[in-house]
Amino acid sequence: MKKKILQICHGYSPPFGDVARQWARLFDGRECELTTVFLTGKKDDFVANNVGGEVIFFEYSSKDLRGLKRKQVQRIRALHLQNNYDFCVAHRYKSIFVALAISGLKVVGVNHAYGVYDRWLRRVLVMRKKSQLILVGVSNAIRDDIRKALPSFPTEQIQTVYNRINVEAISAAQIDRSSAREFLGVSSDSYVFGTVGRLHPDKDYKTLLSGFARVSEDIPNACLVIIGQGALESQLKSQAETLNISDKVHFLGFVKDAYRYFKAFDSFVLSSDHEPFGMVLLEAMVAGLPIAYSNCGGSPEVVGSLGISFEVNNPEKLSEALLRLYSNQHGVEYDQLNQRVSNYFSDEAVCDVFWGMPALKILLFEG
């Protein structure tokens, strides 16, 4: 008999539309029927086709998900009564809350951020529901953060299931260096340090700009390309002007499917001081880019020994990493990067990890 699986997602804004796709692939070819529910967001055929299986859009607003979420619970309960799901995968806390409100529904709660269980009411809820719940972090860093917040929750029921990437699809979509540079408006003869992410304090672009300023005169043909938008844009541009590097720093704003243009970069830099995982690192690795990354959160788990790490919030150490990238002192080959992604962060690799979790087997057959 086929297993019936329910997946609940808060919404499908990036990267969570692809997160839903990632988890849907875990059930391919395993005698499973998957239903995915997006609590927020209008019906979107592209999202539905990308995820696959039955996809339902509740079309609530984020405001509707405040409080006890009674309407959402009622609708999920009705689905469960109709289909009798074997278990539910719920992404982010509000989805986990809704799923745990359904009597008898076994839940794999996927956590994508730090501090989810810092609130005592959340800790109380998951402790009360621990017999029907596995908590998953998207990196060991997130897993350990959950374990620290919930010391009395069974350790074996708090595990890691990495984010992943469709290696073949991403590789096929990434365009060549010349075309990518033309699209982004980057000079063909520049050495390009690239980074991608919202302009948010967690990304610590302040340190990145300071570190780049330290080496800009030593590398006269170098530029820094930042793809992303956010509230810090004017502040960061002002900092670049103060550092006298505004002519070498290109703020490109939002670029749809930015991973397609990664080959415009000569190397990739991630300066975050708060990084749960780092999907952009996987996309950079598929593009074969040398990488420098701040030594925090999930980044070291993603890159491993194939990148140059530097101390968080340290412009001097970051600048040293930039010089090493520029002088080709990373010693990493394209095949090594792709092999690591395939071995640890492909749909196939993570599928084996997920279904091999002892806690999942206990939940399904004994919970």
Question: What is the tens place of the pLDDT at every residue in 292-317?
Answer: 999 999 999 999 999 999 999 999 99
pLDDT of 331 higher than 90: no
- Identical topology for domains 3-164+346-365 and 167-344: yes
* Average pLDDT over the chain, rounded to an integer: 95
Average pLDDT for 230-243: 97
Q: Cα(35)–Cα(79) distance, rounded to whole angstroms?
A: 10
Number of Cβ atoms within 10 Å of the Cβ of 285: 30
Percent above pLDDT 90 for the chain: 92
Say what the pLDDT of residue 14 is. Answer: 87
Q: Which pLDDT value is given to residue 1?
A: 80
Does residue 15 or residue 135 have the better pLDDT?
A: 135
pLDDT tens column, 267-297: 999 999 989 999 999 999 999 999 999 999 9
Q: What is the pLDDT of residue 228?
A: 96
Pick the CATH number of 167-344 from 3.40.710.10, 3.10.290.20, 3.40.50.2000, 3.60.9.10: 3.40.50.2000
Q: Per CATH, which fold does 3-164+346-365 belong to?
A: Rossmann fold (3.40.50)
Q: Categorize the per-residue pLDDT at 332 as very low, low, confident or very high, splitting at 50, 70 and 90.
A: confident
Nearest residue to 259 (alpha-carbon basis) of 279, 275, 232 = 279
Count of other CB atoms within 10 angstroms of residue 117: 23
Average pLDDT, integer, range 222-226: 97
Distance, in Å, from the CA atom of 135 to the CA atom of 357, rounded to the nearest integer, reads 12
The token pair at 348 is 């196939």
DSSP tag of 204: -
Rounded to 5 degrees, what are φ and ψ at 308? -105, 115
Q: For the chain, which residues make up each domain, given as ranges?
A: 3-164+346-365, 167-344
Alpha-carbon dihedral of residues 161, 162, 163, 164, nearest 10 degrees? -110
Residue 97 has pLDDT above 70, yes or no: yes
Per residue in 109-155, pLDDT (tens digit) is: 999 999 999 999 999 999 999 999 999 999 999 999 999 999 999 99
Report residue 330's pLDDT band, with 50, 70 and 90 as the boundaries.
Answer: confident
- What's residue 366's pLDDT? 63
Cα distance from N-terminal residue to C-terminal residue, the chain:
19
User: Is residue 42 classed exposed, middle or buried when 0-12, 13-18 and 19+ CB atoms within 10 A define those classes?
Assistant: exposed
Q: Band of the pLDDT at 90, cuts 50, 70, 90?
A: very high
Question: Which one, of 206, 196, 163, lies nearest residue 312 by Cα?
Answer: 206
SS3 state of residue 55: strand
Helix segments in the chain, DSSP class H:
16-25, 45-51, 70-83, 92-100, 120-128, 140-149, 167-173, 177-184, 205-215, 233-242, 279-286, 299-303, 315-326, 334-344, 347-355, 358-365
- In 3D space, the residue among 250, 324, 339, 251 whose CA is nearest the CA of residue 290 turns out to be 324
Amino acid 322 reads L
pLDDT confidence band for 219 (50 / 70 / 90): very high
